[in-house]
Amino acid sequence: MRKAGKIAFVGAFCAVIGLAFPVFNVFSKQLSMDSHENRLMTGLPQVLNSPLRELPRNLDNFLVDNSPFRYQFVLVNAGLDYALFGTSQSDQVLPGKQGWLFYKDGPNAAQPMANYQGLTELNDSAEVLAEASAGLQILNDRLAANGCTLVLDLTPSKDRIYREYMPDGYPIVNEQNRTDLMAAYLQSHTTVPVVWRYDVLRSQARQNSERLLYYKTDTHWNSIGALIGLDGIFEALDMQTLSPDAYPVEADGTTTGDMANVAALYASLPAEETYTVPGYAQLFEKDGRAVRVIGDSFSEYYMPYLQARFTNSWREHIDTFTMDMVDHPGCDILILEFNERSLDKLLTILEAF
Residue-wise pLDDT for 83-94, tens only, equals: 777 888 888 899
d(CA 202, CA 220): 15
Q: What integer pLDDT is reported at residue 45 of this predicted model?
A: 72
Q: What is the pLDDT of residues 157-185, one digit of tens each?
A: 999 999 999 999 999 999 999 999 999 99
Instruction: Tell me the Ramachandran region of residue 97: left when phi exceeds 0, alpha when psi lies from -120 to 50, beta otherwise.
Output: beta
> For residue 59, what are the domain limits?
39-68
> Do residues 242 and 277 make contact, with C-beta atoms less than 8 angstroms apart?
no
Q: What integer pLDDT is reported at residue 64 of this predicted model?
A: 53
Asked if residue 62 and residue 111 are part of one domain, the reply reads no
Asked if residue 119 and residue 57 are part of one domain, the reply reads no
> Do residues 267 and 217 make contact, with C-beta atoms less than 8 angstroms apart?
no
Asked if residue 332 and residue 207 are part of one domain, the reply reads yes
Check residue 42 and report its DSSP letter.
Answer: P
Q: What is the mean pLDDT of the chain?
A: 86
Q: What integer pLDDT is reported at residue 81 of this predicted model?
A: 76
Residue 25 or 71, more confident: 71
Asked if residue 55 and residue 111 are part of one domain, the reply reads no
Using alpha carbons only, give the angle 322, 327, 333 rounded to the nearest 5 degrees.
Answer: 90
Asked if the structure places residue 239 within a domain, the reply is yes
Asked if the structure places residue 287 within a domain, the reply is yes
Q: What integer pLDDT is reported at residue 12 of this predicted model?
A: 52
- In terms of Cα–Cα distance, which of 238, 220, 94 is closest to 158? 220
Q: How many domains does the chain have?
A: 2
Asked if residue 224 and residue 296 are part of one domain, the reply reads yes
- Reported as half-sphere exposure (CB side, CA atoms, 13 A), residue 1 has a value of 0
Asked if the structure places residue 19 within a domain, the reply is no
pLDDT at residue 259 tops 50? yes
Share of the chain above pLDDT 70, in %: 80
Q: What integer pLDDT is reported at residue 340 of this predicted model?
A: 94
Asked if the structure places residue 79 within a domain, the reply is no
Asked if the structure places residue 80 within a domain, the reply is no
Asked if the structure places residue 91 within a domain, the reply is no
Asked if residue 131 and residue 61 are part of one domain, the reply reads no
Asked if the structure places residue 81 within a domain, the reply is no
Q: What integer pLDDT is reported at residue 106 of this predicted model?
A: 66
Neighbours of 24 (CB within 10 A): 17
Asked if residue 244 and residue 139 are part of one domain, the reply reads yes
Threshold 0.85, pTM exceeds: no
pLDDT at residue 276 tops 50? yes
- The pLDDT-based confidence of 142 (bands split at 50, 70, 90) is very high
Q: What integer pLDDT is reported at residue 121 of this predicted model?
A: 93
Q: What is the pLDDT of residues 292-311, one digit of tens each?
A: 999 999 999 999 999 999 99
